C-alpha cells in the first residue's frame, strides 16, 4: 500500500489529507505540531480577546482512515524517504509538505524580544495576555494583516490608542474607493497612521525609526510579513531565496518528484506571477494536489494547476469589512463592498475556509 504523509494540518495540509483519504486507497498519515486546527485567518480576533472555537484535529479525521500524529517535524531525509517527528522515524512514498509560515522579523533588532506577532496561535495568545488596558499599541506594518489587527484592537479596546507605523499608506495595494473607506474607518476608530517610516529597532517601551525618531509605546505588534520553515532547505529540497519550495505546474518539487508542496511553503507562479501567501490560494492548491497525486497513482498525468483571483477580503473589526473585487491577476477593480454587508461576506468566507479544511 502506498504511504502518503502530509506534514502540517493547517488550511492546505488538512484539505489535502481529507481529499487524499477520499480519492485514493493509500495509507494517509497527517502530522501536526498541535492537536487543534488553528484558524489563522482569525488570529487577530483571538489577539483582541475573542474566544475562538477549539477544533480538535482528532475529531476532524475521525472515521476517515487518516492516521493523526501530533508532533514536531524535526527533519526530512529525502534520500531515505523518511521524516523525523520528535525522534520517531516515519517513512513515506509521497510527502505533502504543508508547514505554512511564521512571522518574519526581517532581522530588525529587538523584534524577537520586544514585539508580538499574530502569525501563530502562541504569538496571538501572548499578545492577548499582555495587552494593556490603556496606553498605546503600535502596529508595525500596514499590509492586509496590519490593517486587520489595528482595526480589531481599536474596536475591541476603545481605551487603547492604536498607532500604525509603515513605509506606505494602509492598504496601498487596494483601489482608491477602498482606501477612502479605510481612511474613514481609521478616523472613526481613532487610529493614528505614521507613513514613510522604517523601523530601525524595537525597544521594550518604544519603536525607534531609521530617522532616529523614537515613538513611545506600551506594546508593539509586528505584522510586516511571513517567512517559512528552514526544513525544506536543510533537507536539500530546491527552494527559492526565501526558503519556499520550488514546484512544477503540478505542485511537485522540481528537485524531488516524490515531494509535493502546498500553501505558504510553496512558491507557485501562474502566468509568471507568484501567488500570494493566503488561505485563498492554499486550499485550491491542496484540492488540486490531492487530485494530481490520485491521478499519478492511477498512472495518469494530471493537468497543470490553474488559479485565478476574484476577491480580497479584509476585516475592519466585527461590524465592517472591505471586499475588494480584483481581476484574475489580483489587481484591484473599482468595486468594493463595505460595511455590514462586507463584514457578512468576509465572515462567510472565513467560515467556509474552516469548513472546507475540517471536513
Ligand atoms: C492574522 C492573519 C489573518 C489572515 N487573513 C487572511 C485572509 O483574510 N485571507 C487569506 O487568504 N489569508 C489570510 N491569512 C493568511 C493565511 O492564514 C495563510 O496563508 C494560511 O494559513 C496558509 O495555510 P498553510 O496550510 O500553508 O499554513 P498554516 O495554516 O499556517 O498551517 C501550517 C501547519 O503546519 C504546522 N507546522 C509548522 N511547522 C511544523 C513542524 N515543524 N512540525 C509539525 N507541524 C508544523 C503548524 O502548526 C500548522 O498547523 C491571514 C494570516 C494571519 C496570520
- Tens digits of residue pLDDT in 194-238: 999 999 999 999 999 999 999 999 999 999 999 999 999 999 999
Distance 8 CA to ligand 1 centre (A): 9
pLDDT of residue 189: 98
Where helices occur in 131-175 by DSSP H, the ranges are 144-156
Supply the pLDDT for residue 131: 98
**pLDDT grade, residue 260 (50/70/90)?**
very high
Listed residue (70, 101, 24) closest to 265, CA to CA: 101
Whose CA is closest to atom 34 on ligand 1? 8
pLDDT (0 to 100) of residue 299? 98
Q: Which domains does the chain have, with CATH numbers?
A: 3-101+228-297 (3.50.50.60), 103-225+310-358 (3.50.50.100)
| pLDDT value at residue 324 | 98
pLDDT band at 188 (very low <50, low <70, confident <90, very high): very high
Give the residue among 47, 228, 264, 279 at the shortest CA–CA distance from 148.
47
Q: How far does residue 350's CA lie from ligand 1's centre (Å)? A: 13
* Region 51-57 average pLDDT: 95
CA dihedral 86, 7, 21, 15 (to 10 degrees): 140
Residue 73: its pLDDT value, please?
98
Q: What is the pLDDT of residue 303?
A: 97
Ligand 1: which atom is nearest the Cα of residue 10? 31
| Atom of ligand 1 lying closest to residue 350 CA | 8
Q: Computed from CA positions of residues 209, 278, 274, 238, in that sequence, does the dihedral angle turn out positive or negative? A: positive
Q: What is the pLDDT of residue 86?
A: 98
3-10 average pLDDT score? 98
* 96-105 tens-digit pLDDT: 999 999 999 9
Could you tell me which residue, 272 or 243, shows the higher pLDDT?
243
Residue 5's pLDDT band (boundaries 50, 70, 90)?
very high
Q: What are residue 222's DSSP bridge partners?
A: 140
Which residues contact ligand 1 via a Cβ below 6 A? Answer: 8-13, 31-34, 38, 40-41, 43-44, 72-73, 98-100, 118-119, 145, 148, 229, 263-265, 277-280, 282, 313
- The pLDDT value given to residue 312: 96
| pLDDT tens string 315-346 | 999 999 999 999 999 999 999 999 999 999 99
Burial 199-225 (b: 16+ CB within 10 A, else e): bbebbeebbbbeeeeebebbbbbbbbb
Region 106-125: mean pLDDT is 97
What is the helix (H) or strand (E) element at residue 19, kind and residue range? helix 11-23
Q: What is the mean pLDDT of residues 261-271?
A: 96
Q: Which helix (H) or strand (E) segment is 42 a member of? A: none
C-beta neighbour count of 301 within 10 angstroms = 9
DSSP string, 55-118: -BHHHHHTTTTPEEEES-EEEEETTTTEEEETTEEEE-SEEEE----EE--TT-TTHHHHEE--
Q: What is the mean pLDDT of the chain?
A: 97
From the centroid of its chain, how far is CA 180? Answer: 26
Amino acid at each position: 500500500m502506498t504511504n502518503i504523509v502530509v506534514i502540517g494540518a493547517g488550511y492546505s495540509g488538512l484539505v489535502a489529507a481529507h481529499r487524499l483519504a477520499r480519492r485514493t486507497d493509500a495509507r494517509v498519515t497527517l502530522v501536526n505540531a498541535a492537536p487543534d486546527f488553528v484558524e489563522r485567518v482569525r488570529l487577530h480576533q483571538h489577539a483582541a480577546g475573542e474566544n475562538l472555537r477549539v477544533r480538535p484535529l482528532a475529531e476532524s479525521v475521525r472515521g476517515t482512515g487518516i492516521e493523526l500524529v501530533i508532533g514536531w517535524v524535526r527533519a526530512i531525509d529525502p534520500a531515505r524517504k523518511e521524516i523525523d517527528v520528535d525522534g520517531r522515524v516515519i517513512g513515506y512514498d509521497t510527502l505533502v509538505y504543508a508547514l505554512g509560515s511564521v512571522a518574519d522579523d526581517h532581522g530588525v533588532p529587538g523584534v524577537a524580544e520586544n514585539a508580538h506577532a499574530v502569525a501563530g496561535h502562541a504569538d496571538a495568545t501572548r499578545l492577548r495576555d499582555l495587552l494593556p488596558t490603556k496606553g498605546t499599541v503600535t502596529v508595525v506594518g500596514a499590509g492586509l494583516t496590519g490593517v486587520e489587527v489595528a482595526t480589531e484592537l481599536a474596536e475591541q479596546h476603545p481605551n487603547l490608542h492604536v498607532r500604525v507605523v509603515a513605509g506606505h499608506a494602509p492598504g496601498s495595494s487596494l483601489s482608491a474607493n477602498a482606501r477612502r473607506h479605510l481612511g474613514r474607518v481609521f478616523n472613526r476608530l481613532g487610529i493614528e497612521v505614521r507613513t514613510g517610516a522604517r523601523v530601525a529597532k524595537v525597544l521594550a517601551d518604544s519603536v525607534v525609526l531609521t530617522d532616529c525618531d523614537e515613538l513611545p509605546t506600551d506594546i508593539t505588534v509586528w505584522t510586516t510579513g511571513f517567512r517559512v520553515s528552514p526544513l525544506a532547505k536543510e533537507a536539500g529540497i530546491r527552494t527559492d531565496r526565501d526558503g519556499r519550495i520550488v514546484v512544477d505546474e503540478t505542485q511537485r518539487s522540481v528537485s524531488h518528484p516524490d515531494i509535493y508542496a502546498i500553501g505558504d511553503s510553496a512558491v507557485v507562479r501562474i502566468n509568471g506571477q507568484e501567488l500570494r501567501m493566503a488561505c485563498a490560494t492554499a486550499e485550491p492548491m491542496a484540492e488540486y494536489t490531492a487530485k494530481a497525486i490520485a491521478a499519478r497513482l492511477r498512472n495518469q498525468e494530471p493537468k497543470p494547476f490553474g488559479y485565478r483571483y476574484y476577491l480580497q477580503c479584509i476585516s475592519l473589526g466585527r461590524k465592517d469589512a472591505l471586499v475588494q473585487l480584483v481581476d484574475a491577476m489580483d489587481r484591484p477593480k473599482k468595486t468594493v463592498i463595505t460595511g455590514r454587508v462586507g463584514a457578512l461576506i468576509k465572515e462567510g468566507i472565513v467560515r467556509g475556509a474552516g469548513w472546507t479544511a475540517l471536513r
